[in-house]
Chain A
């Protein structure tokens, strides 16, 4: 049938293609115009010496080849120095992977919770979205307040009252602890995204499968691993990938929580520092290109290893 359709409908196919392109063009224009061009420009800047003095005349900036990249790799904030000082590159990778894993896990649990109907399910579903939809600025200020290092900070007050800690802690200002906090806060904020993705897939799983399994005598855990997990493989993989990308590039969150201090300096924050504190835009651009390359490497590895196994549905 398709063959005959092919020969009969040929003229329409070209028309169809043209229509399709006209429908897609505005979107493509906006997205690629406002993203790809600046990105390419950014790569260009990374190979030149651009500072405040020539920022308005960038095209005449001196070409410095890999100087910027060299100075980034040698910078004290970038490279791994010791177990006390991981450097921005390692910190970013650790942060991105941990936060994404945790938020996907939480999203899975939340989705499982909300899957079966119960009283108040609708309201619960909506409440679970709050952390994701609230403005980052507000969320950051509230959490900074709650995590205040003084004994009058909320978390300190609670934990001290429960006798779980001896002295008040500086949650966002202790090396190691602050990275953990930022990861937890990231999971708190973004788990609803994973939850939505997983939930929509869960709702489509045939309940007959569970019935059959129950008849066969499977307990809930067995049901989960034999039925639920396989059905979710693809969406888990895709969600993880998407969130990994977004978390890797995150700037606002960490900047508002810690400003990049105490072991939470990730590559985006370092880019900001080079560009706006040192006015060395070449180095800032180089840092962001390095960030991009690391991400691309992970992406390629991930897609070819993990996604291929899971398979397209």
Chain B
């Protein structure tokens, strides 16, 4: 009888051990620290100017003002920002980057993981060395170099989303290659050997055997490169001049530097830029951990 009639305190004291207490406290600390800025960003996008610039910070806006969002999307607003265009540009850059990066990384990772050739370890470890060079160092020489090439081959470098995609590829391929190589190495190659003996070509093997077994890792690499391209600032800032070609980060920066300060619009644009990525990671989260976990199985 006593067992069934415990009250809340009883249950709680049963459940609560030191371990759980510490766990809860630390977890709470993390969650609050992580979520608060995002809460601030989203809630501020709905605030009025007075709420933003007042003497006290307003934690919960009185009502959901859509003025900031209207400014971004409504053509009839006096300072219409045409943010939809920027969203499109970012998509035009991120999707191809992640698709191409995945394809090239799969091919390269397979080669390094499965095939024997001289210099492969050097390649794998060396390719990470490119991260020694910061963007600030590379950007002017790269721009100058590409302009010279562009002049000769007849394409424009500025405001050219394809060139931007190429630079993003150069930034993301090393990590993509590394991640996928590690993952492929954990897949036992007996199945592949069997398929080869059965008469499949290497590429058929990749397509039929390796890929299906590596879905988590591939998705991880895809999301990761998509995110890098989505968020990238420096190269887009240098390479894009025309407002119509701006990606979202550049546009947000422009709105921030506008002489008439409109922090709620900046927050609204930031919200729009952040939400898709967050949803993407939330939805595909299990692939991410699976993809990286298996890489850990063997070491």
Contact = CB atoms under 8 A, between A and B. Distances in A.
A/B contact in complex, CB under 8 angstroms: yes
A34 B281 contact: no
Given A39-B137, A130-B35, A154 B296 contact: no
A42 B143 CA distance: 12
Interface string B113-143: 0011110100100011011111111101110
A73 interface: no
Given A13-B116, A127-B31, A142 B285 contact: no
A36 B136 CA distance: 14
Interface stretch (A81-89, A174-182, A243-251): A243-251
Interface in A105-154: 109-110, 113, 122-131, 133-139, 141-143, 145-146, 151-154
A130 B38 contact: yes
Given A17-B117, A127-B31, A292-B137, A138 B273 contact: yes
Contacts, number: 250
Interface residues of A, number: 88
A196 B104 CA distance: 24
B222 interface: no
Interface in B257-295: 263, 266-267, 270-271, 273-274, 277-278, 281-282, 285-286, 288-289, 292-293, 295
A308 B267 CA distance: 47
Nearest to A196: B292
Given A27-B105, A30-B169, A113-B23, A130 B233 contact: no
Contacts of B174: 31
Interface class of chain A by DSSP: helix
B132 A245 contact: yes
B275 to A, nearest CB: 10
B140 A281 contact: yes
14 contacts: A27-B107, A30-B166, A32-B130, A39-B138, A42-B141, A130-B281, A134-B38, A135-B274, A145-B44, A146-B36, A196-B289, A196-B292, A200-B293, A281-B140
Given A38-B137, A129-B288, 8 more contacts: A19-B111, A125-B285, A134-B277, A139-B37, A142-B37, A151-B55, A249-B133, A252-B234
Interface of A: 13, 16-17, 19-21, 23-24, 26-28, 30-39, 41-42, 45, 55, 58, 109-110, 113, 122-131, 133-139, 141-143, 145-146, 151-154, 157, 188, 196-197, 199-204, 220, 234-235, 242, 245-246, 249-252, 268, 271-272, 275, 281, 285, 288, 291-292, 295-296, 299, 313
